[in-house]
Structure 1
């Protein structure tokens, strides 16, 4: 047996003696691994050092900026809204400082929010549901439904507040226009109302009170539906927008540009100090200069009260509403647009409860003061429509200037199947009249004859002329809510009525239309546009309320040019005859408004109208009083239209009211008004 030390197979292996002074002999494969690990370590350390160099040297400023952003939060500073003024600069709508109460949700202890809402609502004299809605609108603008209390509690948990990234800077306004007394109460009990804050804001003010309330519109928090519209891109929950009227139409100009305050915050996004460390100042909204003349507007509203007072003298009519329009016949400027009854637009400031809203605007006894009757209420216009008959009849060759019809007080169509007898407003009759005198005396029988001739003519030429002159379509005024009115045609009856008998267009339909009765409906503004076309030579103007936009320095930012007037071809001879009739109606002894304007300081041309309108509450017809006019008669500038609901006859009520407006336009004072001693159309 060979010795262990002499074994040839083990001679090349390293021998470990266990002594520390002996080196360890490594194989080549192990050395390679060690080298690779060392190289990798060097690379990794190189990457780390390069990254540190990149972050600290090359990108240091960027990260300093980000760090600053993390400790700063931006708070919106609401810009004051622009004023609304009349054409002479008289302020109609302005701002006043106010106090608002809000909630900072992050400062309300968990589990106490609902209790605080209830107690705060009691102090602010509002329903808790309105506070909940304000919070929900802020947290989730796309959700407007409140649901029951259970849904509210499940929605607004503390986790939900955190989920919506509510910060210590977010204050949700729950009530505006809060009294100083209420604010003092809350401040004295601040520990009992954690998270409640008072903010200063701007509120709308109305120096002229109720004047032009229906035209101005009001403000409200933007709705969830509006936030989803492209038109409101860039708006956010809690923003205030114009609702209705001029506030809505010109919102983008009036609202201004909100500012930003940068506030330093702690790790919990709570303010570290009250003073901002930077930001951007708010830019006030622009001023809207309107076409209105405050003095004429006030006169128009006074005129409606005067007309209604005159109507009440004999105690036979209700006369509980009306409208008046004053246009510049040359360009469509609306100098005044008055409505009765009216209301104080200040009721919208700070919000309005549902109960108060219903009491003011919905209850029938108040006769709907929010309604802009001048553009929304469509009624038959009575004999004021006779100028359309005259223009259409002459232009279509249905009548001639000298042709006369005899009036004995009634008219029977020359159709054997129609036994209806149509009476004239003057039962004694007018005798033989040509066109000018028929307009002057408002003879119904003359125009019954014209109406029947249009019935016998091919097509619907009378209706077409009514539409050309501005009826049966919106005028295009620059506020929403305008009604189109209606010019009835045989085709309309076919679509509107179900009964085969009612579908038929009969001679009676054309005859009623000829005196502005039957199914014809127009707004006071449409009638004003029609009379403006008579006055200005056939141009159908687009009424407008916006004149220009002006900045804080008084410089014009934008002129608000209306749509170009639409020209209707009317022979000068036709216009001359119609104007003669309108002038004589207001100035000759036999004119239906001569008792009002014959001795007036300015020559007026105008037409009375008494329209029979069906009243469902009475199951019968009531008379609406109309007066449509322009002046000066020989160089027309102003168009004045007055309508008194259930007011009786146009000559006794509406014409005297129109004179109140002309007094303001021409700076006249004509003394006590008279309704005349005889019944006029």
Structure 2
């Protein structure tokens, strides 16, 4: 073997030794580092491992306010003390009981309503936690074998006797009441424990002892406040309580929008219609907890912002006056003629700007005969449909003119029409004589409208032979449908498009005989709401343009100030739904007929409006109807109605008034009394405001001159 090979073998062990030495050093360093981590920083690192930053809670914020068109608050938020509970993860029933016992030392939960709300199950669950081992033994292993945990728990509670849960002290009942509220809480979601009648002392005691009350917080909550009392409340709507939370039938929809189950939401009226605007943006707090649920930190990641503020088209000063007028006249009719008006309970009125669709006042007063009280029922202007009587005759005349079955100025002699197997159609007076399209409106001729109906069905005999069957073809029902189609152009029998969760479109009568179309032509067959009648009136006043009625005028972003509106977020523009398919000349003839109703001696409303300085126009209406209960006819009654607008040449307001089920005798014409006072109130208020505005302008000019 050569010397070179011997040298190479000698070097090999040395290299291996060096490699082992390096590996040894590396392991030594690693062991040292692990020692440092374990001994010096082990506790901190362990806590870090156990941290989770994925728990976020959303804190509700106050809803947006609601204002009237003049900037006066209609719906406000009233702050109140609130005690809440935000449960950490992993909390058990025993933990909640212990917390309830501690919390009972700081707050009272002994009011009658709260204690009455304690159920038998609440009592049993409380007794079970105090006597858990004893009660568990009442259920044998064999009984538990085929049961789920929930079934075992239910069966165990059933073994607790009535005697065992009867003799709780008042203090124990308070603990049960508190625990009942704690049990409702979802993980990391604030649950109100008490927010009614929380005293300043209770609030302070809780705030000072939060370290002893895990999950409890002393904060502020809010309730809706109505500065104008009950006026318009049935249209403004309501919100759910936290106990009710989001509606169960819409739970998936609300949860997908970021709601919690115990959030309060609009459940009716405008509160429901504009929930997305009023709800606001919740404050989002991210909680840092250990894996066992111990809270070790929190951070606000989204600042809360209360809901946007709504400005309505309603004029609350005017609204209040309209409510007073409607209630006064309803009350007068009921008290002055109690026997005649024994079924009269409602008076409904809608006042609208015919050019923009702004709803200026919507009033409904209901008389609760059982309690003898008058209450707001403005929602009935949208929900209750009735036969309105002759107020629809403007639409009937326009249908006749536009369809060509009558010509402008065509006359008929007002004599009863008697079709075989149909009640005779006659006018309210036998002395109307010969009438044309305009004077038929002025004098409210039923016969004229009857001939329009017959002609639209194909019956052209005039005068109509008494008791003769109609000489109609098989398509006479098409005439009925054609008239309804004309009516729908005004919104009669169709949706008004109003910004409200629900509205009735009325009911169509079941067509059986041709004679029924004659009665539909005078408003005594199909039914309509007061809101539909108001839109119809506004359409005629607005030269045939049907605009969408609306409550919302503007939306504003919220600001910190409690006394003023924030920046404009959006506004609602006038929306023309359609222009009726009728000529300007024909519309003007109906407008002139409406003017004569109010302003000429033969007009049916002349006695109340003939001397009015506001240049009004409109139409009266009476529908013969009856009251039925359980399928039995109780009495013959009448629906009284009035529609109108003013001034005639440049209409500023249009209105519709309806009082269903008034007496059949001539007494206190409620709609005309209401309509007259509505016009007077509107224009008096306008004059007063214009005068005040002029005085303010003069004052500003004087101050500017003095400064110069």
For this structure pair, what is the TM-score category when the shorter chain's length is used for normalisation?
Answer: 0.7 to 0.9
Q: Distance in 1 between matches of 2:77 and 2:183?
A: 37
Mean alpha-carbon deviation: is it higher for 309-318 or for 642-651? Answer: 642-651
1:383–1:278 distance in 2 versus 1, CA, 3 Å:
closer
Q: What is residue 513 of structure 2 aligned with on the other side?
A: 506
CA contact (8 A) 1:586 1:594 kept: yes
Mean alpha-carbon deviation: is it higher for 323-332 or for 97-106? Answer: 97-106
Q: Deviations over 1:530-560 (max 9, x none)?
A: 1111111111111111112111352111123
Of the three residues 94, 114, 118, the one matched with 1:128 is 118
The Cα shift of 1:164 comes to 11
Q: Distance in 1 between matches of 2:684 and 2:530?
A: 24
The Cα shift of 1:340 comes to 1.3
Aligned to 1:592, the other structure's residue is in SS state: coil
Of the three residues 298, 317, 320, the one matched with 1:295 is 317
Q: Deviations over 1:39-83 (max 9, x none)?
A: 99989969979998xx99xxxxxx999679648975543322111
The Cα shift of 1:288 comes to 0.6
Of the three residues 337, 348, 354, the one matched with 1:314 is 337
Q: What is residue 680 of structure 2 aligned with on the other side?
A: 663
Q: What is residue 647 of structure 2 aligned with on the other side?
A: 632
CA contact (8 A) 2:323 2:365 kept: yes
Matches within 5 A, 1:418-437: 418=421, 420-426=423-429, 428-437=430-439
The Cα shift of 1:586 comes to 0.8
Q: Distance in 2 between matches of 1:615 and 1:240?
A: 40
Matches within 5 A, 1:188-587: 199-220=219-240, 221-229=245-253, 232-261=256-285, 269=293, 279-312=301-334, 313-315=336-338, 316-318=340-342, 319-341=344-366, 372-408=379-415, 410-413=416-419, 417-418=420-421, 420-426=423-429, 428-456=430-458, 459=478, 460-488=481-509, 493=510, 505-518=512-525, 520-553=526-559, 554-561=566-573, 563-587=575-599
Aligned to 2:249, the other structure's residue is in SS state: helix
Compute the RMSD of aligned alpha carbons. 4.8
Aligned to 2:192, the other structure's residue is in SS state: strand
Of the three residues 637, 661, 669, the one matched with 1:652 is 669
Q: Distance in 2 between matches of 1:432 and 1:293?
A: 44
Q: Distance in 1 between matches of 2:113 and 2:217?
A: 17
CA contact (8 A) 1:71 1:266 kept: no
The Cα shift of 1:199 comes to 3.8
CA contact (8 A) 1:304 1:644 kept: no
Q: Distance in 2 between matches of 1:566 and 1:47?
A: 86
Q: Distance in 1 between matches of 2:611 and 2:60?
A: 56
Matches within 5 A, 1:95-244: 95-103=77-85, 106=91, 109-110=94-95, 112=97, 123=111, 125-126=113-114, 127-128=117-118, 150=154, 171-174=190-193, 176-178=195-197, 180=199, 199-220=219-240, 221-229=245-253, 232-244=256-268
The Cα shift of 1:419 comes to 5.7
The Cα shift of 1:294 comes to 1.0
Mean alpha-carbon deviation: is it higher for 589-598 or for 226-235? Answer: 226-235
Q: Distance in 1 between matches of 2:99 and 2:47?
A: 40
Mean alpha-carbon deviation: is it higher for 209-218 or for 399-408? Answer: 399-408
Q: Distance in 2 between matches of 1:516 and 1:242?
A: 36
The Cα shift of 1:581 comes to 1.0
The Cα shift of 1:651 comes to 8.3
Q: Distance in 2 between matches of 1:104 and 1:452?
A: 72
Q: Distance in 1 between matches of 2:443 and 2:657?
A: 19
CA contact (8 A) 1:72 1:262 kept: yes
Aligned to 1:242, the other structure's residue is in SS state: coil
The Cα shift of 1:589 comes to 1.4
Of the three residues 74, 81, 95, the one matched with 1:92 is 74
CA contact (8 A) 2:51 2:290 kept: no
1:542–1:46 distance in 2 versus 1, CA, 3 Å:
farther
Aligned to 1:243, the other structure's residue is in SS state: coil
Q: What is residue 693 of structure 2 aligned with on the other side?
A: none
Structure 2-normalised TM-score? 0.69
Q: Distance in 1 between matches of 2:299 and 2:626?
A: 68
Q: Distance in 2 between matches of 1:152 and 1:515?
A: 70
CA contact (8 A) 2:78 2:224 kept: yes
Structure 1-normalised TM-score? 0.72
The Cα shift of 1:625 comes to 1.5
CA contact (8 A) 1:85 1:93 kept: yes
CA contact (8 A) 2:422 2:515 kept: no
The Cα shift of 1:389 comes to 0.8
Query: Between Structure 1 and Structure 2, how many residues are aligned?
Result: 572
1:584–1:150 distance in 2 versus 1, CA, 3 Å:
farther
Q: Distance in 2 between matches of 1:39 and 1:367?
A: 101
1:651–1:432 distance in 2 versus 1, CA, 3 Å:
farther
CA contact (8 A) 1:290 1:545 kept: yes
The Cα shift of 1:448 comes to 2.1
Aligned to 1:422, the other structure's residue is in SS state: coil
Q: Deviations over 1:423-445 (max 9, x none)?
A: 3222x331121121111111222
The Cα shift of 1:364 comes to 10
1:113–1:532 distance in 2 versus 1, CA, 3 Å:
farther
Q: Deviations over 1:618-652 (max 9, x none)?
A: 53332122111111111122111111232357982
Q: Distance in 2 between matches of 1:65 and 1:366?
A: 66
Q: Distance in 2 between matches of 1:129 and 1:473?
A: 48
Where structure 1 has 5 or more consecutive residues not aligned to the other structure, the ranges are 1-30, 57-62, 136-145, 343-359, 494-503, 671-681
Q: Deviations over 1:489-525 (max 9, x none)?
A: xxxx3xxxxxxxxxx632321111111002x011111
The Cα shift of 1:579 comes to 0.8
The Cα shift of 1:569 comes to 2.3
CA contact (8 A) 1:96 1:203 kept: yes
Q: Distance in 2 between matches of 1:130 and 1:87?
A: 51
